[in-house]
Amino acid sequence: MKIAIGADHAGYRLKDVIVPYLQSLGHELMDVGCDCDVSVDYSDYSIPVCEKVVNGEAERGILICGTGIGMSIAANKTRGIRCALVHDMFTAKATREHNDTNVLAMGERIIGPGVAQEIVRIWLETPFSHAERHQNRINKVMAIEASQASQA
Ligand code: RB5
């Protein structure tokens, strides 16, 4: 799978664990940075990842900051992105089955590398359930995006 990944200064160390892990599973990673401790703004890294997902260059996106909160808020401003902030295996699976999320956010300050690796593996492997009730709910969320975009 083609996966875009980005992090801020508080998340790049975890990104540098996740990238080789996913490559070892056969995935193709597009790493947009950052790569050092210099303080940066998480939205500067969420935008290129989300753009790659929306324009089809990447099938999924992964974003990491200190808490994952800033990255998830920023990602969900991009039309077509459904980003979930995940720190456990149950919600990693549930957000794919129920929400068909295309971007995953995590916080390097919240979880360790072992849990993060399991989360990304489960999140990438779990298909959307295609249950009608879940699809209807996603359609309603997408309708909100479309109506707000037309008012802008
Ligand atoms: C950086 O200190 C931190 O605020 C950022 O990585 C993220 O946790 C914000 O939500």
Q: How far is the CA of 85 from the centre of ligand 1 (A)?
A: 13
Is the pTM higher than 0.95? The answer reads yes
How far away, in angstroms, is 65 Cα from ligand 1 center?
6
Q: Give the start-to-end residue ranges of the domains of the chain.
A: 2-151
pLDDT tens digits, one per residue of 85-102: 999 999 999 999 999 999
Average pLDDT over residues 36-65: 98
The ligand 1 atom nearest the CA atom of 65: 6
What is the rounded average pLDDT for all residues in the chain? 98
> CB within 8 A of 88, min separation 6: which ones?
115, 119
Superfamily of domain 2-151: Sugar-phosphate isomerase, RpiB/LacA/LacB (3.40.1400.10)
Residues in contact with 151: Cβ distance below 8 Å, sequence separation at least 6, in sequence order: none
pLDDT in tens, 93-137: 999 999 999 999 999 999 999 999 999 999 999 999 999 999 999
pLDDT-above-70 percentage for the chain: 100
Is 68 flagged in the annotation as binding?
Answer: yes
67 assigned ligand-binding residue: yes
pLDDT band for 147, please (50, 70, 90 cuts): very high
Q: Is 98 an annotated catalytic residue?
A: yes
What CA–CA distance (Å, rounded) separates 47 from 124? 21
Check pLDDT > 90 for residue 54. Answer: yes
The finding on whether 67 has its CB within 6 A of some atom of ligand 1 is yes
Which distant-in-sequence residues (6+ apart) come within 8 Å of 145 by Cβ? 79, 80
Burial bucket for residue 47 (CB in 10 Å: 0-12, 13-18, 19+): middle
65 part of the active site = yes
- pLDDT for residue 86: 99
User: Which residue minimizes the CA distance to atom 7 of ligand 1?
Assistant: 66
Q: Is 47 in the pocket of ligand 1 (CB under 6 A)?
A: no
Q: Is the pLDDT of residue 152 over 90?
A: no
Query: What is the rounded average pLDDT of the residues 26-41?
Result: 98
Strand 60-65 relative to strand 83-85, pairing: unpaired
